[in-house]
């Protein structure tokens, strides 16, 4: 019996292979998008840990200049001979044809062997590694990415952190243009008990606590949460397809269930069989989805890696490694998703009245009753969403709010469409039009899941598109303000700085020293800048909150400016105070926007900085000069003065780089968006296809009354377009709400800055056209099959009339 | 002719640290890489030493060391021992070493302080050319790695200091006898296949100074022994290890001797140094060393009490470790510590044992 029942149940799929394909595809897509995003996140996080552990599993404190500038290599022997056990590092980045590479110059003689990645310690004492040209030790993935004649030969070692190359000190110095200089000293374990204080041995150096992987993880958390949210959204959209297909399959098999039950199959056995069937599907589709997810992740990770490198300086390789836990969670989420999607159908089967009619109309009527509940649920979720934004705070709350909002909108959609169609029917005068509206309304339950998916996809598209565009406008404006100096130059050392300012004085309108030092502010890595009192800042600096005479106070050393991120994180605004190293109660006199900076930043007058951080040297300068003289001065700086080209940054180049970083940030969002929209279009297609087979009994009488098959097909197309258009109209406010949440809530929580909302109606028109095209395309095939349906089959409907 | 395997053991330590550790398969050959070709390196040749120049480094050679051990005594009679060692190795032949930070010359320091109850060890490593480690004769004699230093107006009058996380010492060494050339006038042939080194010692240092112990400083006096050796050629692969002694007898005479353990047999060598510094080398078989008592330390069992016989000098003594746990837990571990002497002669000295794995 059980075997016969199973064969009967499975025969449904054999007769409807397309439905089976839809189910598997939907489930696979949902799993793919979700696990793809998870793979990207896991890869990035693993990279942070490896990068933080680039020198030893336990990060060690180091000695460096407060402003991070390099120092004379002779300091090394001075420290060691005084009993300070340190190992020197030369750090920096080189740009290769294959992207950026972090160079870590180490001294294999003093670096504890265990501090290098396993397998690299041996290579580091190979005579070929030592001296010039030396060798670079990199991971095989990095080796595949970089390369070029300008680099020393590569040694590939598994387990080396991505994007990092270990080199001997002189090789690193040569690569980074730091001849005779070192970046910092790592303090080793087992220091002798008796040694002179640091400022006697190496004045100007200070002890700095190590950066840990956790720091990087905190900085990039928001980025990953964003990705996760997108993955979840795609998963939800995919589940709509699954839910729709399972619902249809169960509905279509209702007579079969009834027959099986009538033949004596216990309800429990039927349920178990259905569960087993679903489990097998879930596992097959899950496996396919994971493979697909791997492809998605591989396609996206180079952009993600580039973003993380550009935005946060994080070391992430643009390749993916497969982790077993990722496979398992992928399968788990597929099974869980299937269970979720099948829950209500299984519930119905469990309570199936043996003699219930199995008609589409009956189904539709049952759905009408369900609509009330759906509406109530939508209202409840909307209320929850409102409450969360009112009472909650932080990124998680923002996403909970977003999730509730989107689900509420999706649940409310059939209700709104129902109302719209009802109004349409009331306005219709001619019988055919009345039939059209009524028939559309009857199809609504079958299509509503696909339309919900479309709504979510469109809303996400509008929301993210609005956010990206809203971002670009103020960001470019802000860049114009912030990068007011025409040219930025950096000297290698104080002597050169002095010569440089002397040389520049007659050649430019103003020389603005920029001094900065790294510091822990409010418990996280941050930076402190000293700026000159100059109209450049007074006129241009983008202050969003200020006390009167703000620039006078800063110049007098009576207060500091902080960036928006820091202000929001510590909830400190003008009039408050902030604790800085060496200045516990610094008065905050203004707050400025600082887009794109993951770090908290403090700005103070030059004198104030010099007083509190005497070791910081003025090596960087902003230069004011007429725009037209920039090229000439740049040439003179390199040729006449002898400043190396990498020490000169043109404002235009800086702007271009900044904008490029932000474009990259949104590439990933946009890619996920397009995928979501495609999934929604596919959902509509499958729904229409499955519905069209069931609709013959509705179409046949209309055909018999004289409407041609072509006419019916045209109506099918129009119906799809009307529904898609209505959905688009509903998606617009939802998308704008989403954009507002992204800009005003999530952005603030994630990145620490708030952006004004700008509307771009032309984008909506394009999107609307796209969604109509998607719906039209999806309806084309079902419409064509109606146009070509043999009249005999339509006649059969009357013969088989039940 | 005296063959001097202790220095070769030291060379082995150094190479293991700086070379072999990097090439895991080399371990499969035991101490095999000691036999590797010395192409491109300078070769030792017989002839007189050129002092003071020879106190300084010989960059053309692959390996070289300045090796001091001292037997000391506190005011209350408590015996102590210290070790101070500076190794130099060239990872490339001298001509290719490279200047400054490009140098492929490695330096390593070992320091130890032994009391009857405790044994302290520290290790330092560095690169030549950076100023972190080296030996200079510009102002007298100066050998250093980090803040560890052996320095004075000449090699016979030096201040010796070293420090670890939990110990330290600062000693004045003054020689009361001449430098002693080992082997054939300082040309020390190692094997029938012709491997050799240049080798001399200063076994006549009188020592005063201070030890820094966790419980506080201790004033000490005593005797010290310096070994200087450089070479480019190394031993065959068949040795299992060495047992080496340097003994100060109460009579004023000294003895340097060792057993090279190889299979069931062994190869011995010794140099008797008269109180006036006149050396008498003894060939294989003249010295007999017999383990009397063994001790388990760090998972190894090492002989910490020996019967030492040199019949040619009517010498028959028992040497016993001051601290049986004098284990050098350095990159490549070995046992080295002070011993007391009883029997036909009294006195004290140092014992080094390797290869007890």
The alpha carbon of residue A31 and the mean position of all alpha carbons in its chain are separated, in whole angstroms, by: 18
B5-35+45-353 is classed CATH 2.40.370.10? yes
User: Measured between CA atoms, how close is A294 to chain B, in angstroms?
Assistant: 37
Q: Report whether pLDDT(A652) > 80.
A: no
Provide CB contacts within 8 A for B25, sequence distance 6+.
Answer: none
Q: Report whether pLDDT(B26) > 80.
A: no
Q: Report whether pLDDT(A800) > 70.
A: no
- Tell me which of A642 and B122 has the higher pLDDT: B122
Amino acid B23: pLDDT: 32
Quote the CA–CA distance of A108 and A124 in Å, as a whole number: 6
Q: Report whether pLDDT(A10) > 60.
A: yes
> Prior bond to B52 cis, omega within 30?
yes
> Prior bond to B200 cis, omega within 30?
no
Amino acid B110: pLDDT: 94
Residue pLDDT, tens place only, A403-429: 788 888 888 898 899 889 889 888 888
Is A81–B131 a contact, with Cβ atoms under 8 angstroms apart?
A: yes
The pair of structure tokens assigned to B51 is 């002092």
B102 vs A77, A109, A131: nearest CB: A131
A290, A331 contact by CB (below 8 A):
yes
* Residues in B touching A131 (Cβ below 8 Å): 98, 102-104
The pair of structure tokens assigned to B65 is 């060391």
Question: Looking at A209, A238, A259, which one is the last position of a domain?
Answer: A209
Say yes or no: B92 contacts chain A, CB-CB below 8 A. yes
Question: Looking at A625, A642, A674, which one is the last position of a domain?
Answer: A625
Residue numbers of B between 213 and 252 with CB closer than 8 Å to A: none
Q: Report whether pLDDT(A58) > 70.
A: no
Helix (H, G, I), strand (E, B) or coil at A575: coil
Strands B254-262 and B180-181: unpaired
The pair of structure tokens assigned to A323 is 């982790």
Average pLDDT taken over every residue of chain B: 84
Residue pLDDT, tens place only, A504-537: 888 888 888 888 777 778 767 788 888 888 887 7
Q: Report whether pLDDT(A312) > 60.
A: no
DSSP A111: S
Amino acid B246: pLDDT: 94
Interface ipTM? 0.88
**Residue A169: inside a domain:** yes
- Tell me which of A445 and A395 has the higher pLDDT: A445
Residue pLDDT, tens place only, A555-573: 888 889 998 878 887 888 8
* Residues in B touching A110 (Cβ below 8 Å): 125-127, 132
Residue pLDDT, tens place only, A229-261: 667 766 776 776 677 678 777 777 877 888 888
Amino acid B33: pLDDT: 40
Is A109–B107 a contact, with Cβ atoms under 8 angstroms apart?
A: yes
Q: Give the total number of structural domains in chain A.
A: 2
Closest C-alpha to A461, from A244, A762, A675, A239: A675
Most confident of the ranges A364-373, A776-785, B227-236: A776-785
Provide CB contacts within 8 A for A665, sequence distance 6+.
Answer: A307, A311
Helix (H, G, I), strand (E, B) or coil at A95: strand
Is B168–A192 a contact, with Cβ atoms under 8 angstroms apart?
A: yes
Burial class (CB in 10 A: 0-12, 13-18, 19+), A352: middle
Amino acid B22: pLDDT: 32
Amino acid A195: pLDDT: 81
DSSP string, A476-507: HHHHHHH--SSEEEE-SSHHHHHHHHHHHTTT
The residue-averaged pLDDT of A203-209 equals 78
Say yes or no: B95 contacts chain A, CB-CB below 8 A. no
Residue indicated by tokens 């130059």 = A489
**Residue A219: inside a domain:** no
Say yes or no: A121 contacts chain B, CB-CB below 8 A. yes
User: Measured between CA atoms, how close is B263 to chain A, in angstroms?
Assistant: 31
The three-state (H, E, C) secondary structure of chain B, written as one string? CCCCHHHHHHHHHHHHHHCHHHCHHHHHHCCHHHHCCCCCCCCCCCCCCCCCHHHCCCCCCCEEEEEEEEEEEECCCCEEEEEEEEEEEECCCHHHCCCHHHCCEEEEEEEEEECCCCEEEEEEEEECCCCCEEEECCCCEEEEECCEEEEEEECCEEEEEEECCCCEEEEEEEECCCCEECCECCEEECCCCCCEEEEEEEEEEEEEEEEEECCEEEEEEEEEEEEEEEECCCCCCCCCEEEEEEEEECCCCEEEEEEEEECCEEEEEEEEECCCCCEEEECCCCCEEEEEEEEEECCEEEEEEEEEEEHHHCEEEEEEECCCCCEECCCCCEEEEEEEEEECCCEEEEEEECCCC
Q: What are φ and ψ of residue B59, in 5° steps?
A: -60, -20
A190 vs B127, B132, B165: nearest CB: B165
B132 vs A77, A127, A190: nearest CB: A77
Helix (H, G, I), strand (E, B) or coil at A514: strand
Quote the CA–CA distance of A752 and A466 in Å, as a whole number: 19
A43, A320 contact by CB (below 8 A):
yes
Amino acid A230: pLDDT: 65
Residue pLDDT, tens place only, A89-117: 998 878 777 767 888 899 988 888 777 77
Amino acid B6: pLDDT: 41
| Range of lowest pLDDT (A61-70, A189-198, A205-214, B160-169) | A205-214
Q: Report whether pLDDT(A314) > 90.
A: no
Angle between helices A651-694 and A696-704 (to 10 degrees): 70
Amino acid B329: pLDDT: 86
User: Measured between CA atoms, how close is B167 to chain A, in angstroms?
Assistant: 8
Quote the CA–CA distance of A583 and A42 in Å, as a whole number: 39
Amino acid B55: pLDDT: 96
Amino acid A372: pLDDT: 80
* Residues in B touching A193 (Cβ below 8 Å): 163, 165-166, 168, 212
Provide CB contacts within 8 A for A278, sequence distance 6+.
Answer: A246, A338, A339, A342
Amino acid A341: pLDDT: 80
Report the 10 Å Cβ neighbour count for A229: 20
Helix (H, G, I), strand (E, B) or coil at A249: helix
**Residue A748: inside a domain:** no
Amino acid B146: pLDDT: 94
Q: Report whether pLDDT(B196) > 80.
A: no
Question: Looking at A209, A233, A255, which one is the last position of a domain?
Answer: A209
Alpha carbon separation from B17 to A540, A541, B93, B100 (Å, rounded): 60, 58, 18, 22
Structural domain span for residue A163: 60-209
Helix (H, G, I), strand (E, B) or coil at A801: coil
* Residues in A touching B103 (Cβ below 8 Å): 130-131
Residue pLDDT, tens place only, A451-510: 887 888 788 778 877 877 776 676 676 666 666 778 888 887 788 888 888 888 888 888
Residue pLDDT, tens place only, B261-274: 877 677 788 899 99
The residue-averaged pLDDT of B1-15 equals 39
Residue pLDDT, tens place only, A582-637: 787 889 999 988 766 667 888 888 888 888 877 777 778 888 888 788 888 888 88
Say yes or no: A125 contacts chain B, CB-CB below 8 A. yes
Provide CB contacts within 8 A for A206, sequence distance 6+.
Answer: A63, A64, A65, A66, A198, A615
The residue-averaged pLDDT of A753-768 equals 80
DSSP A143: H
> Would you place residue A59 in the very low, low, confident or very high pLDDT band (cuts 50, 70, 90)?
low
Task: Report percent pLDDT > 90 for chain B.
Answer: 57
DSSP string, A263-317: TT--HHHHHHHHHHHHHHHHHHHHHHHHHHHHHHHHHHHHHHHHHHHHHH-----
Say yes or no: B165 contacts chain A, CB-CB below 8 A. yes
**Residue A31: inside a domain:** no
Quote the CA–CA distance of A687 and A28 in Å, as a whole number: 17
User: Measured between CA atoms, how close is A643 to chain B, in angstroms?
Assistant: 25
The H-or-E segment that residue A356 falls in is none
> Would you place residue B18 in the very low, low, confident or very high pLDDT band (cuts 50, 70, 90)?
very low
Maximum Cα interatomic distance, chain A, rounded to a whole number of Å: 106
Q: Report whether pLDDT(B35) > 70.
A: no
The pair of structure tokens assigned to A70 is 């390099």
Say yes or no: A131 contacts chain B, CB-CB below 8 A. yes
Terminal C-alpha separation, chain A: 29
Burial class (CB in 10 A: 0-12, 13-18, 19+), A12: middle
For chain A, count helices (H), then strands (E).
Answer: 26, 20
Amino acid A339: pLDDT: 86
Instruction: Please count the CA atoms within 13 angstroms of the CA of A41 that sit on its side-chain side.
Output: 20
Average pLDDT taken over every residue of chain A: 79
Quote the CA–CA distance of B9 and B351 in Å, as a whole number: 13
DSSP A752: S
Provide CB contacts within 8 A for B180, sequence distance 6+.
Answer: B200, B201, B202, B203, B271, B273, B277, B279
Is B146–A81 a contact, with Cβ atoms under 8 angstroms apart?
A: yes
Amino acid B29: pLDDT: 32
Report the 10 Å Cβ neighbour count for A394: 11
Amino acid A311: pLDDT: 54
Closest C-alpha to B132, from A316, A386, A85: A85
The pair of structure tokens assigned to A226 is 């964003």
Q: Please, what sign has the CA dihedral across residues A460, A463, A468, A469?
A: positive
Domain locations in chain B as residue ranges: 5-35+45-353
Cα dihedral B205→B134→B162→B200 (10° resolution)? -20
**Residue A558: inside a domain:** yes
Closest C-alpha to A269, from A647, A527, A540, A9: A9
* Residues in B touching A83 (Cβ below 8 Å): 146-147, 163
The pair of structure tokens assigned to A588 is 């905050």
């Amino acid at each position: 019996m059980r075997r016969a029942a199973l064969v009967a149940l499975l025969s449904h799929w054999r007769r409807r292979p397309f439905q089976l394909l839809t189910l598997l595809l939907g489930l696979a897509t949902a799993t793919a998008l979700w696990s793809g995003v998870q793979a990207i996140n896991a890869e990035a996080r693993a990279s942070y840990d490896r990068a933080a552990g680039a020198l030893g599993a336990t990060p060690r404190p180091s000695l460096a200049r407060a402003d991070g500038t390099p120092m004379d290599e002779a300091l090394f022997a001075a420290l060691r001979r005084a009993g300070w056990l340190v190992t020197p590092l030369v750090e920096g980045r080189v740009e290769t044809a294959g992207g950026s590479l972090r160079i870590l110059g180490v001294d294999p003689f003093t670096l504890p062997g265990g501090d290098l990645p396993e397998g690299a310690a041996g290579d580091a004492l190979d005579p070929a590694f030592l001296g010039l040209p030396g060798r670079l030790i990199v991971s095989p993935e990095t080796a595949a990415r970089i390369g070029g004649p300008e680099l020393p030969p590569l040694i590939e070692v598994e387990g080396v952190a991505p994007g990092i190359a270990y080199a001997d000190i002189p090789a690193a110095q040569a690569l980074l243009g730091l001849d005779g200089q070192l970046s910092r000293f790592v303090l080793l374990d087992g220091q002798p008990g008796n040694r002179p204080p640091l400022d006697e041995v190496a004045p100007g150096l200070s002890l700095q606590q190590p950066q840990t992987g956790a720091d990087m993880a905190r900085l990039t958390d928001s980025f990953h949460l964003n990705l996760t949210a997108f993955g979840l959204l795609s998963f939800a959209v995919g589940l709509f397809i699954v839910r729709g297909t399972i619902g249809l399959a169960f509905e279509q098999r209702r007579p079969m269930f009834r027959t099986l039950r009538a033949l004596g199959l216990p309800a429990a056995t039927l349920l178990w069989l259905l569960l087993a069937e679903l489990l097998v599907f879930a596992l097959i589709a899950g496996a396919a989805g994971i493979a697909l997810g791997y492809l998605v992740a591989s396609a996206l990770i180079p952009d993600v890696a580039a973003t993380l490198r550009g935005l946060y300086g994080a070391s992430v390789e643009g390749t993916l490694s497969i982790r077993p836990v990722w496979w398992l969670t992928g399968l788990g989420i597929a099974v869980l998703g299937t269970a979720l999607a099948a829950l209500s159908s299984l519930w119905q089967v469990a309570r199936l009245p043996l003699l219930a009619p199995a008609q589409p109309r009956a189904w539709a009527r049952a759905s009408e009753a369900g609509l009330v509940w759906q509406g109530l649920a939508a209202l409840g979720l909307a209320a929850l969403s409102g409450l969360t934004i009112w009472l909650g705070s932080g990124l998680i709350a923002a996403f909970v709010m977003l999730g509730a909002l989107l689900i509420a909108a999706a649940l409310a959609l059939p209700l709104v469409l129902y109302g719209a169609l009802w109004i349409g029917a009331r306005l219709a005068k001619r019988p055919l039009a009345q039939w059209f509206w009524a028939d559309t309304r009857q199809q609504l339950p079958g299509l509503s899941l696909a339309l919900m998916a479309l709504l979510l996809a469109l809303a996400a598209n509008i929301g993210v598109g609005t956010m990206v565009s809203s971002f670009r406008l103020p960001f470019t404006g802000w860049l114009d303000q912030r990068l007011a100096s025409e040219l930025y130059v950096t000297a290698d050392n104080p002597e050169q700085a002095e010569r440089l300012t002397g040389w520049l004085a007659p050649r430019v309108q103003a020389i603005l020293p920029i001094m900065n030092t790294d510091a822990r502010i409010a418990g996280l890595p941050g930076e402190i800048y000293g700026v000159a009192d100059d109209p450049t800042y007074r006129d241009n600096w983008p202050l969003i909150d200020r006390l009167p005479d703000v620039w006078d106070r800063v110049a007098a050393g009576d207060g500091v400016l902080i960036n928006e991120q820091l202000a929001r994180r510590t909830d400190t605004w003008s009039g408050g105070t902030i604790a800085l190293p060496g200045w516990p109660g610094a008065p905050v006199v203004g707050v400025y926007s600082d887009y794109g900076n993951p770090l908290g930043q403090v700005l103070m007058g030059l004198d104030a900085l010099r007083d509190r951080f005497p070791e910081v040297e003025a090596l960087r300068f902003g230069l004011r000069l007429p725009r037209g003289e920039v090229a000439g001065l740049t040439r003179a700086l390199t040729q006449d003065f002898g400043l190396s080209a990498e020490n000169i940054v043109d404002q235009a180049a800086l702007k271009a780089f900044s904008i490029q970083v932000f474009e990259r940030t949104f590439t990933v969002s946009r890619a996920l968006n397009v995928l979501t929209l495609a999934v929604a279009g596919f959902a509509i297609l499958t729904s229409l296809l499955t519905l069209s087979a069931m609709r013959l009994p509705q179409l046949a009488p209309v055909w018999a009354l004289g409407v041609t098959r072509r006419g019916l097909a045209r109506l099918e197309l129009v119906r799809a377009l009307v529904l898609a258009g209505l959905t688009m109209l509903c998606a617009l406010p939802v998308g704008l709400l989403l954009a507002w949440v992204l800009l005003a809530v999530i952005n603030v929580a994630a990145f620490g800055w708030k952006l004004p909302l700008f509307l771009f109606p032309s984008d909506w028109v394009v999107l609307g056209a796209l969604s109509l095209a998607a719906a039209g395309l999806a309806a084309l095939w079902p419409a064509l099959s109606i146009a070509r349906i043999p009249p005999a089959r339509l006649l059969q409907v009357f013969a088989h009339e039940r | 002719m005296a063959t001097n395997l202790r220095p070769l053991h030291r060379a082995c330590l150094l190479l293991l640290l700086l070379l072999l550790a990097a090439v895991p398969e080399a371990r499969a050959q035991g101490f095999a890489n000691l036999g590797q070709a010395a192409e491109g390196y300078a070769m030792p040749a017989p002839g007189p030493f050129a002092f003071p120049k020879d106190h300084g480094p010989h960059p053309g050679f692959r390996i070289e060391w300045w090796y001091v051990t001292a037997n000391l005594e506190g005011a209350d009679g408590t015996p102590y021992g210290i070790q101070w060692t500076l190794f130099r190795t060239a990872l490339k032949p001298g001509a290719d070493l490279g200047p400054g930070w490009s140098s492929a010359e490695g330096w390593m320091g070992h320091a130890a302080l032994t009391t009857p109850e405790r044994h302290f060890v520290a290790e330092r490593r560095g690169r030549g050319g950076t100023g972190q480690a080296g030996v200079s004769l510009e102002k007298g004699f100066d050998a250093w790695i980090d803040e560890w230093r052996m320095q004075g107006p000449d090699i016979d009058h030096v201040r010796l200091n070293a420090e670890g996380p939990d110990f330290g010492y600062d000693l004045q060494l003054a020689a009361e006898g001449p430098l002693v050339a080992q082997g054939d006038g300082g040309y020390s042939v190692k094997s029938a296949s012709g491997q050799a080194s240049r080798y001399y010692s200063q076994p006549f240092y009188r020592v005063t100074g201070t030890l820094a112990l966790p419980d506080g400083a201790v004033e000490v006096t005593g005797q010290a022994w310096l070994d200087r050796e450089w070479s480019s050629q190394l031993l065959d692969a068949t040795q299992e290890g060495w047992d080496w002694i340097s003994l100060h007898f109460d009579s004023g005479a000294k003895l340097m001797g060792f057993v090279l353990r190889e299979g069931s047999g062994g190869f011995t060598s010794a140099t008797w140094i008269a109180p006036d510094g006149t050396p008498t080398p003894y060939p294989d078989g003249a010295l007999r060393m017999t383990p009397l008592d063994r001790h388990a330390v760090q998972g190894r069992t090492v002989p910490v009490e020996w019967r030492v016989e040199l019949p040619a000098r009517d010498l028959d003594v028992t040497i016993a470790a001051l601290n049986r746990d004098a284990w050098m837990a350095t990159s490549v571990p070995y046992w080295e510590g002070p011993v007391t002497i009883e029997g036909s002669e009294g006195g004290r000295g140092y014992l080094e044992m390797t290869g007890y794995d």
